[in-house]
């Protein structure tokens, strides 16, 4: 068994668990859109309707999400791997060339996703080198299609047989 101190081996072992891929968006204090790719998104509760996602303490987007008060979780469709890659990198204009609209609270909502949840920030909690953000779902959309999945360090499409 590998030692916990071996971060690369631990990351590889954790990467064996397939997750969905989402882009979480919000508005900066100046009204500019901000967004990033996450695979740490999960459902927490139905009463009240709560979800969570995690953000690195060193993220340049941390202050924007802590101040925003609301955020949108855009669950990506299978063919949107390029969007996941774009929002995972430190690109100056992540929204350039991406089809999106202003949704509730002016939040950036990406087009053609399989789901989008508009959330009010419910609470924040320290979680090691990340912040755990809980959101209360205020509204959502759900569309047909296959979701984008991340496993073993690559984006994949679920196999339906």
Please say whether the beta carbons of 80 and 145 come within 8 A. Answer: no
Q: Can you spell out the DSSP letters for 109-156?
A: EETT-SEEEEEEEEEEEEETTEEEEEEEEEEEEE-SSPBPEEETTEEE
Homologous superfamily of domain range 20-151: Electron Transport, Fmn-binding Protein; Chain A (2.30.110.10)
Q: What is the pTM of this model?
A: 0.91
Phi (first) and psi of residue 75, to 5 degrees: -80, 115
In sequence order, what E strands does 3-151 have?
Answer: 19-20, 22-27, 33-38, 42-46, 49-56, 70-75, 100-102, 108-110, 115-127, 130-142, 149-151
Please say whether the beta carbons of 98 and 112 come within 8 A. Answer: no
Q: Percentage of the chain surpassing pLDDT 90? A: 78
Q: Enumerate the domain spans of the chain.
A: 20-151
CA distance 76 to 145: 10
Q: What is the mean pLDDT of residues 39-59?
A: 96
Q: Higher confidence at residue 154 or residue 56? A: 56
- Select from 54, 154, 35, 14 the least CA-distant residue to 92: 35
Q: Does the pLDDT at position 89 exceed 70? A: yes
Give residue-wise pLDDT tens across range 98-131: 999 999 999 999 999 999 999 999 999 999 999 9
Please say whether the beta carbons of 142 and 65 come within 8 A. Answer: no
């Amino acid at each position: 068994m590998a030692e916990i101190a071996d971060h690369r081996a631990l990351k590889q072992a954790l990467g064996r668990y397939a997750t969905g891929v989402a882009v979480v968006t919000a508005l900066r204090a100046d009204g500019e859109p901000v967004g990033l790719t996450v695979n740490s998104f999960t459902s927490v509760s139905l009463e009240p309707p709560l979800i969570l996602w995690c953000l690195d303490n060193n993220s340049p987007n941390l202050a924007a999400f802590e101040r925003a008060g609301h955020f949108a979780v855009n669950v990506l469709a299978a063919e949107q791997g390029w969007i996941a890659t774009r929002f995972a990198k430190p690109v100056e204009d992540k929204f350039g060339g991406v089809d999106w609209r202003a949704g509730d609270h002016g939040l950036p909502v990406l087009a053609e996703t399989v789901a989008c949840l508009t959330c009010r920030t419910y609470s924040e909690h320290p979680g090691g080198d990340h912040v755990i953000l809980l959101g209360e779902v205020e509204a959502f959309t759900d569309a047909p299609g296959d979701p984008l999945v991340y496993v073993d360090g690559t984006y994949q499409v679920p196999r339906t047989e």
